[in-house]
């Protein structure tokens, strides 16, 4: 079952899909995954607020899930 992460997903949704995504968020500058905003903020909103490259984060998250789905 292929899983795809989209910009409009809430951060906590992705964390619920697989906690293995935590290091990806950390590496890309999103360190406050436990804060209240993580349960109400989309990935795109978080990237905009923190000045991060949303495209790069999306690619990395989707590569992570693609690798898991192939296994």
In sequence order, the 6+-apart residues with CB closer than 8 A to the CB of 12 are 38, 39
Closest by Cα among 16, 8, 18 to 58:
8
Read off the pLDDT band of 6 (50, 70, 90): very high
Strands (E), the chain: none
**Three-state SS at 61:** helix
pLDDT confidence tier of residue 1, bands split at 50, 70 and 90:
low
Question: pTM (2 decimals)?
Answer: 0.86
CATH number of the domain at 11-70, please? 1.10.3910
């Amino acid at each position: 079952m292929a899983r795809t992460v989209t910009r409009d997903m809430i951060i906590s949704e992705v964390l619920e899909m697989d906690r293995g995504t935590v290091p990806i968020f950390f590496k890309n500058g999103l360190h406050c995954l436990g804060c209240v905003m993580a349960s109400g903020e989309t990935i795109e909103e978080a990237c905009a607020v923190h000045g991060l490259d949303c495209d790069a984060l999306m690619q990395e998250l989707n590569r992570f899930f693609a690798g898991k789905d192939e296994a």
